[in-house]
Amino acid sequence: MNAKKASQLEKRGQGAKRPGKQPRSKTSEGKLSAVDAAAKVLGETAEPMTTQQMVDAMSAKGYWSSPGGKTPAATLYSAILREIQRKGKDSRFKKAERGKFVLAR
């Protein structure tokens, strides 16, 4: 570790969180994140859904809308897979079939 990096860690305190970090579950206005909105939509239906169907339902119900991204369904798909991989059995989601998800109960 170089001296500059070491002095920065000393100033911040070893292991201290950076100031201004917010939890990612909700946005600053209290709106749901895309993943949280997807979980809510899946909870309201008993059928497996694709991420495009989830994005359409989230937008129609006013839970979440894309802030202008070109591929919100692909981003949501990636986020759901990431949650399944990181949390394992504690994940909110489960793959039902190719490209479709359900809530893990």
Render pLDDT for 23-53 as a digit per residue (tens, 0 to 9): 555 545 678 999 999 999 999 998 999 999 9
Q: What is the mean pLDDT of residues 59-83?
A: 96
Other beta carbons within 10 Å of 40? 17
Q: Are 89 and 99 in contact (CB under 8 A)?
A: no
Residue 20 clears pLDDT 50, i.e. is over it: yes
Q: What percent of the chain has pLDDT over 90?
A: 69
Residue 105 confidence class, pLDDT cut points 50, 70, 90: confident
46-55 CB burial, b ≥16 within 10 A, e <16: eebbbbebbb
Options 2.60.34, 1.10.3470, 1.10.10, 1.50.10; CATH for 32-105 is: 1.10.10
Extents of the domains making up the chain? 32-105
Mean pLDDT of the chain: 85
